Structure 1
């Protein structure tokens, strides 16, 4: 019988256990803790911690949260004289309990409005609504919510102002007023303008002009949220980098607030995230109903690696990276722009397991060590 050195056996066992333990402890939030916050968007069930596996994953991997839907106007302010804070209270409590950065999404947005808001046609009434809505919500969570999307998606893709109910009733001054009202309700909270496609040249120019106008008029704006609803091939890393540099040059923080990467065909080369656009689909538009091919998994992993490599290069300018959803099965991209598809846009699959994309993001930090 071959003699086994007991000392060597103990040391080897300890080393293997230690390595396994380290691997188990490794997470996105820990890997990037000295760079920027790593966040996710929570749905109502996740806010109420209804699924233990999902809850465990959220707590392990993320140190920042955004409410996917429940703080939008139609849910939090359903009637003119009625607010519903039941779920938003739970959301804030969840973040506090788990020592997470809590982001408020969103105060003024043309979409997902309560029906009564869409009917406001008088400027005096709209002004009163905005003052009441912003002041009530921001004041309620003063000192508890860390940052807010004050205005969401106010621009068209060409950089002009969207013809929303707010613009039609109040003109572009509504944008400045919204930031002033939010700052008055909580002077210490970080205030963001959030939009999609604002890494594209024309819309980026519009967003920069908008931010400058708000600042020049005395509005407090601390950051810009680039949503990051992207594709495997576009936008280019060069355009994303230009955006980081140009927004940062305005003296504000840059956050990537709703990051996901679609792997599915894009009907009519649609870009962005306008939730009002829907398309009828066919089998060609849903090519991977059961499983993502290895070749596409690899492309997705490479795309995430190149994006996070850029984020690390400019970590001094970036405050937060938030994925739009915890895992593939939850993603809004399964139902937009075509309902009933199977998409694979996030680092965790439908079974909450790490994908090659997850490993590619972690590997960048391992190379630094």
Structure 2
């Protein structure tokens, strides 16, 4: 009887030792492997804000799973379209803030950094902004007053609630010259100065940014630096530069992107805005983001309608990692890195520059599942 009891005790002790060893090994493995609970916003919280763009469908409550990703993975938001002048003031004096209000409220409820996009932009401005009742271009005085009214009304409504604004969007061409927009035709380069002055007057505490695409092109870089330096020398409150991140597998040259980050950081803070990585071919090679440019659909322009091959997926991951390494290198000057959408299905790249294509440019797939690149980006800062 004693012998049998002794054997039972020895057996229990062995089980205890084995269980302890297994627990110890599991704990060590857990400590060495990345936590599945780690999110992008947690990983980069000491570096810069990680943002995403929200669209109208999401803000109207039609995409709750996508909004959950916004809440869990990101700590900054920007409105994709609902704050642009054509949406907010389609008719003179008639402001529609329904979705813009929902956007700001969502950010406030989730303690997020909120970025306003955009106050002055030629592409989605309402036509009435520039013309009189006869269809003729208005005078400098009229356009100035319309700009002031719009900016004071929009920025004033969200004073103290929106942290930063894209005040002027895409005013410089790739060759460094001023874009010949209606704003420029009527007011010359002074329209940029006026926009920043009005925005600062409407909310003195908001950070104000100039935002543009193809910002790694040397000639464009030089043009933007020249413009911003001139305005800052005149005392115009420009706090930073937004570099749109419409990148592809082969463009832009990451070395030139690095040079631009260096140059723009000398002027103030830098934001990486509208970031996505298209894996599809461009009709023009290295494409920017000029919305008026379109291209006829061809099968060769839509090579992956049913999913990405493994080798392309690897290239996609590697390219994102390369850029985030660059962002971390300049993290002392970068205040925000913002993805232009939550998942592949709601990316504008599915329809531009060729309509009807299937692209895969974002960090979450069409089923709202994190791609392998998310783990890699988290590992960069662990």
Q: Would you say same fold, with TM above 0.5?
A: yes
Pairing partner for 1:308 from 320, 324, 331:
324
2:166 counterpart of 1:154? no
Aligned counterparts of 1:21 and 1:47: Cα–Cα separation in 2: 36
2:50 counterpart of 1:38? yes
SS in structure 2 opposite 1:310? Answer: helix
Could you tell me how far 1:241 is from its partner in structure 2?
Answer: 1.1
2:15 counterpart of 1:4? yes
Could you tell me how far 1:10 is from its partner in structure 2?
Answer: 8.8
Could you tell me how far 1:19 is from its partner in structure 2?
Answer: 6.8
Alpha-carbon displacement from aligned partner over 1:161-207 (angstroms, at most 9, x marks no partner): 00111111111111101101100110110000000011210001011
State the partner residue of 2:103. 91
Answer yes or no: is the 8 Å Cα contact 2:86–2:124 preserved in 1.
Answer: yes
State the partner residue of 1:213. 230
2:79 counterpart of 1:67? yes
The number of residue pairs the alignment matches comes to: 365
State the partner residue of 2:148. 131
Aligned counterparts of 1:21 and 1:89: Cα–Cα separation in 2: 41
Could you tell me how far 1:240 is from its partner in structure 2?
Answer: 1.1
Alpha-carbon displacement from aligned partner over 1:294-330 (angstroms, at most 9, x marks no partner): 1000001000111111111111011000000011111
State the partner residue of 2:8. none
Ranges of 4+ aligned residues in structure 1 off by more than 6 Å: 16-22
State the partner residue of 2:243. 226
Aligned counterparts of 1:311 and 1:365: Cα–Cα separation in 2: 11
SS in structure 2 opposite 1:108? Answer: strand
2:220 counterpart of 1:203? yes
2:257 counterpart of 1:240? yes
Aligned counterparts of 2:55 and 2:105: Cα–Cα separation in 1: 15
**Within 5 A, what are the aligned runs for 1:90-109?**
90-109=102-121
Aligned counterparts of 1:352 and 1:302: Cα–Cα separation in 2: 21
Pairing partner for 1:331 from 347, 360, 379:
347
Aligned counterparts of 1:365 and 1:244: Cα–Cα separation in 2: 20
Pairing partner for 1:110 from 99, 122, 129:
122
**With structure 1 as the length reference, what TM-score do the two structures score?**
0.94
Could you tell me how far 1:14 is from its partner in structure 2?
Answer: 8.2
Structure 1's unaligned 5+ residue stretches are none
Structure (1 or 2) with the larger CA radius of gyration? 2
State the partner residue of 1:23. 35
Answer yes or no: is the 8 Å Cα contact 1:255–1:319 preserved in 2.
Answer: yes
Could you tell me how far 1:15 is from its partner in structure 2?
Answer: 3.9
Answer yes or no: is the 8 Å Cα contact 2:251–2:286 preserved in 1.
Answer: no
Pairing partner for 1:352 from 351, 358, 368:
368
Pairing partner for 2:269 from 253, 261, 273:
253
Aligned counterparts of 1:10 and 1:263: Cα–Cα separation in 2: 44
